[in-house]
Chains A and B, each alone.
Chain A
Amino acid sequence: MTTPPIEADDEHARSGQRDPDGASTRELTDGADVRTVPIWRIRLRLLGRSVGMMWGLFRGNQMGMLGLGLIAIFAAMAIAHPVLMATVWEPRIYDPVVGYDAVMTQYTVVEGEPTDPTAEISLTEAQLRMNPMIDVGEVINIPTQPAPPTLTGETPHYLGTDARGRDILSQLLFSTRAAFFLGAVAALTTVFIATAVGAIAAYFGGWIDGGLMRFADLILLMPLLPVLIVLSAVLEMSMLVLGLIIGVLSGFGGVAIVLKSQALSITVKSYIDAARVAGGGHWHVIFRHIIPNVLPLSFLFMMFGVTEAIAIESTLSFFGLLNVDMTWGLMINSAQNNGYLLSGTSYWWLLFPAGLAVTFICFGFFLVGRGMDEVVNPRLRSR
Chain B
Amino acid sequence: MIKLLRKAIDGLSERTKTGPLQFIHPVFEAVDAALFDPDYAAAQAPFIRDALNAKRYVFSVVIAAMPILALSTWFYGYKVPLMLFLAYGLGALVEGIFAWSRKETISEGFLVTGILFVLIFPVTTPLWIFSIAVVFGIIFGKEVYGGVGNNIFNPALVGRLFVFISWPAAVSPPEYLKPAGRLLSYVGTGVDAITTASPLALFKTGNIADFHTLFVGPRAGCIGEISSVLIIAGGLYLIAVRVVNWRTIFALFTAVAAAHFALAGFAGKMMPLSLEFFGGGLLLGAFFMASDPVTGPSSKMSKYIYGAFIGACVVIFRRFTPLVESVMFSILLANAVVPLIDAGSRHFRKLKEKTYV
Q: Say whether A and B bind each other.
A: no
